[in-house]
Amino acid sequence: MLAFAVLGGALAALLLLADAALPVLACSVLLGLAVLGAVVRSTVRRRGEPYGPADRVTVGRSVLVALAAALLPLGLAPVLGHDGGRPADAWCWAVFAVALPAWLLDGIDGWVARRTGTATRAGARFDQEVDAVLLLLLSVAVAARIGLPEAWWVVVIGALRYLFLLGLRVRPAWRRELPFSSYRRVVAGIQGGVLLGALVPLIPLPLAVTATVIALVLLLVSFGRDVLWLERCARGLS
């Protein structure tokens, strides 16, 4: 309830400050509420593992992620309109200001779980899902700044996790725990930082494009390594 109250206040301020058409504002409100609603629903439906203090931190982070989602239609509306173009610098700064603390606070919930002895598998998955949504939103925002539809490839950064989950439905044999990988952990950690940097209007577009391409290539290599390992295990080769 507190999360919804905070988001509701932020959305009310957004409606007052934003200069956009009513349908765009309605999309912003609905998208923000949908993201937070999905987060709350996942915690309410949890069974068998307690809802602890680290999960409360993750819910707090998800309010920022939901607000970033609410900002998305405001920047995409002029980009996808008849005139095309790129979103305003003010919008890029707004998304950056909301997403940066959500990204920086990523390690806090895990630290709280370890300090309080309340770490759970459900909590770890919960944290990962919030991270995945934030990454998807940032990839869409950066694609808009670089220039849509040509920069559609940036969205692959945020979509890869969901494509992998879709692959699990097609290939159930991949449903096994992956071994620890420092490469995977480092590559996953830098994606948010690169996308946040590429979103800053002070960063020249060529530099933003180059950094984003490198991040995408590293991420594709990481996912490719994991898929090959899972496929080898599925075929009894390792």
C-alpha separations of 226 from 157, 178, 214, 215, 233 in Å: 16, 7, 19, 17, 11
> Tens of pLDDT along the chain (238 residues)?
888 999 999 999 998 888 888 989 999 999 999 999 888 777 766 666 667 777 888 888 999 999 999 999 998 888 876 566 788 899 999 999 999 999 988 878 778 878 887 777 777 788 888 999 999 999 999 999 998 889 999 999 999 999 999 988 888 888 888 888 899 989 988 999 999 999 999 999 999 999 999 999 999 999 999 999 998 888 875 5
Q: What is the pLDDT of residue 48?
A: 65
**φ and ψ at residue 20, rounded to 5 degrees:** -145, 165
The type of residue at 214 is I
114: left (phi over 0), alpha (psi -120 to 50) or beta: alpha
The domains of the chain are located at 1-235
CATH number for the domain whose boundaries are 1-235 = 1.20.120
Q: What is the pLDDT of residue 80?
A: 76
CA atoms within 13 A on the CB side of 237: 7
pLDDT digits (tens, 9 = 90+) for 218-236: 999 999 999 999 988 888 7
The model scores a pTM over 0.85: yes
Q: How far apart are CA 29 and CA 34, in angstroms?
A: 8
Q: What is the pLDDT of residue 47?
A: 65
